[in-house]
Amino acid sequence: MADYSTGPVTLTGMILSSSPVSESDRRVVILTKERGKITAFAKGARRQSSRLLASTECFCFGSFKMFEGRSAYNLIDAGVTHYFEELRRDFDGACLGMYFLEFADYYTRENNDETAMLKLLFQSIRAICAKGLDNRLVKVIYEMKALVVNGEFPGIPADRKLSDSAVYAINFIVNTPVEKLYTFAVNDSVLLELTEVADTYRRRFIDRKFKSLDFLGTLGV
């Protein structure tokens, strides 16, 4: 039984996954700034009359008020600032966003300082929603910067010859603050180089096959 004697906590984060529990409840996984990745249960959230109905969907970003139990949290209220409703009208963008969520779910841990990863995820979802950005480049930037954030990016590959533009782009991704990452474009040949580097490093450092990534391949993203 959960112990709520310490009172509720309010955490800032984004919902990575949401799944039904029983007939009316939901289980959500939230990447938070304060406590890393956590699991929370929202009682009655699937009911049409519930104030948590919309705020327990994937991509919701904001503040989440909850009680802490022994192995999970009990979500009681939410103040969502971004629903990213644009993704409901953009199938390809929604699929890419789901990949980003799955990637973050794999790559983050409870009680870790995941502030940088949460910031990257938030800005990357915003980039998908922005007009004029190539989703293929957004994907490459997200994958590379995630490795940088987690201290695993090995630098410019020594076993292949890259163009000066590709080398510049990689260094920009590595050294630029997350807020300014999505401010450049490349031509198709440079994008191909960057994609090959990102794919190589992802396969090297991440020992998981993402279902959402397989589906993205069918969309050409």
CB atoms inside a 10 Å sphere around CB 26: 23
45-69 pLDDT, tens digit per residue, is 999 999 999 999 999 999 999 999 8
Q: Which two tokens stand for residue 211?
A: 């279902």
pLDDT for residue 25: 97
Q: How many domains does the chain have?
A: 2
Q: Where is the domain boundary, 32, 65, 82?
A: 82
Q: Quote the CA–CA distance of 48 and 54 in Å, as a whole number.
A: 9
Q: Is the pLDDT of residue 5 over 60?
A: no
| Position 2 in a domain | no
- Indicate the pLDDT class of residue 188, thresholds 50, 70 and 90: very high
Considering the domain architecture, whether residues 64 and 96 belong to the same structural domain is answered as: no
142-168 pLDDT tens trace: 999 999 999 999 999 998 899 999 999
Same structural domain, 31 and 125: no
Whether residues 95 and 147 share a domain: the answer is: yes
Q: Per residue in 177-211, is it b (16+ CB within 10 Å) or e — as a string?
A: ebeebbeeebeeebbebbeebbeebbeeebeeebe
Residue 221 in domain: no
Residues 171, 107, single domain; the answer is yes
Residue 1 lies in a domain: no
Q: Is 69 left (phi over 0), alpha (psi -120 to 50) or beta?
A: beta
**How high is the pLDDT of residue 1?**
37
- Say whether both 17 and 56 belong to one domain: yes
Judgement on whether residues 59 and 140 belong to the same structural domain of the protein:
no
Q: Which two tokens stand for residue 219?
A: 């969309």
Domain that holds residue 54: 9-82
Flag whether 191 is in a domain.
yes
164: in domain: yes
Cβ proximity of 65 and 89 under 8 Å: no
SS3 string, the chain, reads CCCCCCCCEEEEEEEEEEEEECCCEEEEEEEECCCEEEEEEECCCCCCCCCCCHHHCCCCEEEEEEEECCCCEEEEEEEEEECCHHHHHCHHHHHHHHHHHHHHHHHCCECCCCHHHHHHHHHHHHHHHCCCCCHHHHHHHHHHHHHHHCCCCCCCCCCCCCCHHHHHHHHHHHHCCHHHCCCCCCCHHHHHHHHHHHHHHHHHHCCCCCHHHHHHHHHCC
Residue 59, both tokens: 């991509």
- Tell me: do 65 and 134 sit in the same domain: no
Q: Do 90 and 28 share a structural domain?
A: no
Q: CA-CA distance, 114 to 37, in Å (whole number)?
A: 8
In a domain, 40, yes or no: yes
Residue 118 in domain: yes
Q: Please tell me the predicted confidence (pLDDT) of residue 2.
A: 46
Tokens of 208: 């998981």
Residues 108 and 188 in one domain: yes
Is 141 a domain residue? Answer: yes
Chosen domain end from 19, 47, 82: 82
pTM above 0.75, yes or no: yes
- Compute the average pLDDT of residues 80-108: 95
- CATH number of 19's domain: 2.40.50.140
Residue where one domain finishes, among candidates 60, 82, 104: 82
pLDDT attached to residue 75? 97
Identify whether residues 114 and 203 lie together within a single domain.
Answer: yes
**Amino acid 132: pLDDT:** 86
Terminal alpha carbon distance of the chain: 45
| 128 and 203 together in one domain | yes
Q: Are residues 137 and 28 in the same domain?
A: no
